[in-house]
């Protein structure tokens, strides 16, 4: 009897998997002309990333109000709302996050933070200020979009760095998602962040399919 109870609790904590249509809508929102079917590395990601997907969705549920403020900043800047979800994978949406010299919601390093207008000194680090660091992230993402021409490439550059991304595009003779994600030199961490953010965006912003309230969403198994 106890085993059945544990199983019910486990399944009830999982969130519905985004549909392929929702994933395609998310891809379109960041400028991809390729669909889910065209991008082999995306196949089966809903199963492969089940654990991290559910982890980030739980975090989203308890930070909805804070995220809504960030999403509004991105909407006003005419940037796809996909980008407002990056902090869930970067810092677990924590403004006090620290890691390898990076700090805050957007995990800015000191130099990049200062470049985009943040004051960083002893006792006063604006990387931990949600509003100001988000404004800096918006400026940075806009610059990346201007440099690379597509929103999804701006996302890749955010994780890889501009020089690395330019080299991979030149090496492959293509800037398509399906090509770049398969390159063994494309950092696993950046690929993981892209896929996790895509799944979150497909669920939170792009899933416009009407749900029958009498039928619960199919959970991601993992």
Q: Torsion over CA of 4, 6, 7 and 12, rounded to 10 degrees?
A: 130
The pTM (predicted TM-score) of the whole model is 0.85
Residue with tokens 């199983």: 7
Whether 194 and 156 have beta carbons less than 8 Å apart is answered as: yes
CATH fold for the domain made of 18-204: Lysozyme (1.10.530)
pLDDT in the model for residue 16: 73
Higher-pLDDT residue of 214 and 109 is 109
List pLDDT tens digits, range 165-190.
999 999 999 999 999 999 999 999 99
Q: How many CB atoms lie within 10 A of CB 36?
A: 20
Local confidence band at 23 (pLDDT 50, 70, 90 cut-offs): very high
Q: Residue 113: is its pLDDT beyond 90? A: yes
pLDDT in the model for residue 208: 55
List pLDDT tens digits, range 49-70.
999 999 999 999 999 999 999 9
Task: List the domain boundaries for the chain.
Answer: 18-204
DSSP structure string for 116-148: TT--EETTEEGGG-HHHHHHHHHHHHHHHHHHH
Strands 120-121 and 102-103 turn out to be unpaired
pLDDT in the model for residue 110: 93
Distant-in-sequence, close-in-space partners of 72: CB < 8 Å, separation ≥ 6:
none
List pLDDT tens digits, range 42-54.
999 989 999 999 9
Euclidean distance between CA atoms 81 and 62, whole angstroms:
18
Task: Give me the chain's average pLDDT, please.
Answer: 88
Euclidean distance between CA atoms 63 and 61, whole angstroms:
6
The total number of residues written for the chain in this structure: 222
pLDDT in the model for residue 15: 64
Euclidean distance between CA atoms 32 and 105, whole angstroms:
26
């Amino acid at each position: 009897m106890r085993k059945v109870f544990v199983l019910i609790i486990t399944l009830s904590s999982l969130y519905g998997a985004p549909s392929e249509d929702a994933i395609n809508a998310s891809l379109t929102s960041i400028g991809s002309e390729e669909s889910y079917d065209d991008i082999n590395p995306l196949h089966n990601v809903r199963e492969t990333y089940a654990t991290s997907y559910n982890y980030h969705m739980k975090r989203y549920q308890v930070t909805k109000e804070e995220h809504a403020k960030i999403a509004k900043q991105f909407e006003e800047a005419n940037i796809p709302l996909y980008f407002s979800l990056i902090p869930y994978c970067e810092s677990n949406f924590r403004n006090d996050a620290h890691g390898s010299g990076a700090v805050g919601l957007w995990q800015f390093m000191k130099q990049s933070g200062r470049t985009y207008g943040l004051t960083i000194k002893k006792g006063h680090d604006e990387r931990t200020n949600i509003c100001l660091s988000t404004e800096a992230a918006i400026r940075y993402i806009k610059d990346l979009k201007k440099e690379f021409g597509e929103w999804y490439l701006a996302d890749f550059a955010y994780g890889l760095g501009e020089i690395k991304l330019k080299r991979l595009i030149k090496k492959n003779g293509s800037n398509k998602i399906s090509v770049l994600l398969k390159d063994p030199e494309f950092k696993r961490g950046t690929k993981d962040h892209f896929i996790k953010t895509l799944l979150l965006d497909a669920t939170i912003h792009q899933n416009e399919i009407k749900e029958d309230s009498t039928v619960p969403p199919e959970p991601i198994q993992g």
